[in-house]
Amino acid sequence: MKNKGTRFERDLIAQLWKEGFAAIRVAGSGVSPFPCPDIVAGNGKLFLAIEVKMRSNLPLYLSEDEIRQLEMFSESFGAKPYIALKLPRKKWKFFTIQMLEKTEKSFKVDEELYHHGLDIEEVAERTIQKRLGEKV
């Protein structure tokens, strides 16, 4: 599963480069004693801290600790925190922490919320799409 995750992270990095961002995978993400996301990217004006998730189906659950660490890193680094989610045969979708649905013990992205996810162009601030019932 780790190799599959690495492949998806590299795919996202390639897409970020196409959008004009320098992007790298963070060595030790998930095992470091310090908060660190899976990918860090920037274009000189906008900096991103991205936690990468891939699932065969929804919902996606994220622990409070994962979200807290992403927030801590992003705040210290001056980056915008995102969860990037890849479903089979679908484009990447991005979610801000504020977009996530809070559950009793975690955060989640379900089918309904998934459709409100941002596209990579929106994250790169090249386009902004208005959606009905948008949570931002």
Give per-residue pLDDT as tens, 68-89. Answer: 999 999 999 999 999 999 999 9
Q: Tell me, what's the pLDDT at 17?
A: 96
Q: Tell me, what's the pLDDT at 1?
A: 46
pLDDT above 50 for 29: yes
Instruction: Note whether 22 and 41 are within 8 A (CB).
Output: yes
Mean pLDDT of the chain: 89
- Could you report the per-residue pLDDT of 98-120, keeping only the tens digit for each? 999 999 999 999 999 999 999 99
pLDDT above 50 for 51: yes
pLDDT above 60 for 44: yes
Q: Tell me, what's the pLDDT at 27?
A: 74
* Catalytic residue IDs: 29
The whole-angstrom separation of Cα 85 and Cα 11 is 12
- Residue for token digits 């596209």? 119
Q: Tell me, what's the pLDDT at 61?
A: 97
- Could you give the domains of the chain? 2-123 (3.40.1350.10)
Instruction: Note whether 87 and 56 are within 8 A (CB).
Output: yes
